[in-house]
Amino acid sequence: MKQAVVIGSGIAGLASSIRLALKGYQVTVFEANAYPGGKLSAFSLGEYRFDAGPSLFTMPHYVTELFESAGEDPKKFFSYKKKDIACHYFWSDKTRFHAFSARDKFLNEIENRFAEPQHKVAQYLDRAKKKYDLTQSLFLANSLHRLQTYLSAATLKALLNLRVFELPKTLHQANNDAFNSPHLIQLFDRYATYNGSDPFQTSGIMTLIQHLEGHFGTFIPLKGMESITQSLYELAKKIGVNFIFNRRVTEILVAQSRVKGVKLGTEKYPADFVVSNMDIYPTFKKLLPQAKPPIKILNQERSSSAVIFYWGIQQSFKELELHNIFFSDDYKAEFNAIFKTHTVCEDPTIYINITSKDIPTDAPKGCENWFVMINTPADYGQDWDTLVQRLKKQVLKRLSKELGTDIEPLIACEEVLTPPLIEKKTQSHLGALYGASSNQPLAAFLRHPNFSNQIKNLYFCGGSVHPGGGIPLCLLSAKIVDELIPEAR
């Protein structure tokens, strides 16, 4: 039986291992941590449970199709529900907005809150859908780095509709052209953060990200985000994937421009195919010492990172939802700080995720588990201890004011995650959450391909390569790898 090795058990690594096993390979996954999932993991502080990493779940069909491909009923492994309210937004002028999942309620709420005519917003959403429909098969479902991807009717159709993509505009310019309300413009600018980018730099094509959330909906796994990891892990084991934890791959073995396996310290493990779910930067810098590194790709601007406060809060707040955003008064200054001066502004946007709203066992009765995230630059050597202390004071001051309650005395327990810790735990270069940023107009073409041009039978998946970061795109990267690797014979 042909052997395949997957380096790393992040969401894309898990998906790749499942797809390769279904193709007839004997698959071994090496994971440096003691647990699967990479960023998509969880931990507890006393009676409070926290999802450690990604907190937004959209497009669940990319998860369930893995079970269906294995002939399994997804419901036996994994359960989730759709949210009626995708997010609750707060501004310092007391404006509040519920982003309803139902389109008619969403449009009605926008008109009531922001005085934007429903037909204008509907046109904007329809344009976002058209962008997605035109690019889905070209940019998301296939490798951008093979000629045959472009020799299709879908490519010709996309080329004939280039004006729809708003490529010459930034996302902010596209939103500013579409609306009059500063609040609504800021709300739609926010979608740049879904791939760690700057709305004042990233292309106007990124309005399609709103379509992914608005059209497909926002969901919550009934056992927390970690259950995505655990369910795929259980499926992988059931179909024969072998997991070896606490073992760090130290080199990808290559001979005559063909992959031969991996090395773990002094031990060699032969393989016919190797898939790296490790960030592309350390994959080349640490695991491929003899290979020519793709310098231009590796030196791309990093995406944003984050400081996350995990707080057990001894009170319940009815005005808060599963997802909550407290917007900065100066969004441009916030992103200038992140991407140009590599610091955090004095008035950052604050995101709060509270899974105990839907999963009561995640916190004691009458309490809540707060995942409080502030977008930051990646780690360029900043004094994170000082930044964290300042951020905590800023966040507590803002939230106490907005919620009319002194928050600090309510904190029963605390854990803090910083960019250096993100890099240490996940090998993400500089702690960037999404690999390279998407601030350049042709960023989709600048990500590393899902295969090696130098080394036969070496492949790459995960958020640092095509098509990008976030759970849906990571799962798509595994699907692309699956289509590139032949059936085992």
Q: Which residue do the tokens 């695991």 mark?
A: 287
DSSP 12-58: HHHHHHHHHHHTT-EEEEEESSSSSBTTS-EEEETTEEEE-S---B-
How many residues are recorded in the chain? 489
279 vs 204: CA distance, rounded Å: 27
Q: Contact 461/474 with Cβ under 8 angstroms?
A: yes
Residue 159 CB: number of other CB atoms within 10 A? 11
450 vs 130: CA distance, rounded Å: 26
Measured at the alpha carbon of residue 115, what is the angle toward residues 110 and 116, in degrees to the nearest 5?
Answer: 65
- Number of H helices and number of E strands within the chain? 17, 19
User: Can you give the pLDDT at residue 132?
Assistant: 85
> Taking the mean position of all CA atoms in its chain, how far away is CA 363?
25
Q: Of the CATH numbers 3.50.50.60, 3.30.530.20, 3.40.50.970, 3.40.640.10, which one belongs to the domain with range 3-41+225-299+437-484?
A: 3.50.50.60
**pLDDT tens for each residue of the chain, 489 residues long:** 899 999 999 999 999 999 999 999 999 999 999 999 999 999 999 999 999 999 999 999 999 999 999 999 999 999 999 999 999 999 999 999 999 999 999 999 999 999 999 999 999 999 999 888 887 766 665 654 554 544 455 555 555 555 666 778 999 999 999 999 999 999 999 999 998 999 999 988 888 888 888 888 999 999 999 999 999 999 999 999 999 999 999 999 999 999 999 999 999 999 999 999 999 999 999 999 989 998 888 899 999 999 999 999 999 999 999 999 999 999 999 999 999 999 999 999 999 999 999 999 999 999 999 999 999 999 999 999 999 999 999 999 999 999 999 999 999 999 999 999 999 999 999 999 999 888 886 665 678 889 998 999 999 999 999 888 889 999 999 999 999 999 987
- As to burial, measured by CB atoms within 10 angstroms (0-12 exposed, 13-18 middle, 19+ buried), residue 1 is exposed
> Which of 48, 87, 79, 46 is closest to 356 using CA atoms?
48
Tokens of 6: 């997957």
Pairing, β 267-270 against β 411-417: unpaired
Q: Contact 348/243 with Cβ under 8 angstroms?
A: no
> Which of 421, 409, 408, 416 is closest to 378 using CA atoms?
421
Q: Provide the terminal-to-terminal Cα distance of the chain, rounded to the nearest Å.
A: 8
pTM: 0.94
Tokens of 13: 């690594």
State the CATH class of domain 109-206.
mainly alpha
In the chain, domain spans: 3-41+225-299+437-484, 109-206, 304-377+380-417
138 vs 374: CA distance, rounded Å: 33
Phi, psi of 305 (to 5 degrees): -120, -150
| 309: β partners | 372, 416
Q: Contact 221/2 with Cβ under 8 angstroms?
A: no
109 vs 378: CA distance, rounded Å: 36
**Reduced to 3 DSSP states, what percent helix, strand and coil does the chain have, rounded to the nearest 5?**
40, 20, 35
Q: Distances from the Cα of 486 to the Cαs of 1, 143, 271, in angstroms? A: 14, 15, 15
- As to burial, measured by CB atoms within 10 angstroms (0-12 exposed, 13-18 middle, 19+ buried), residue 413 is middle
96-123: string of b/e by CB count within 10 Å (b at 16+)? Answer: ebebbbeeeebbebbeebbebeeebbee
Q: Which residue do the tokens 């995505």 mark?
A: 228
State the DSSP H helix or E strand holding residue 448, giving kind and residue range, or none if neither: none
Residue 190 C-beta-side C-alpha neighbours within 13 Å:
23
| 275: β partners | 6, 459
User: Can you give the pLDDT at residue 43?
Assistant: 97
Tokens of 111: 């008109």
Tokens of 411: 């904190």
User: Can you give the pLDDT at residue 208?
Assistant: 82
Could you give the 3-state DSSP secondary structure of residue 96?
strand
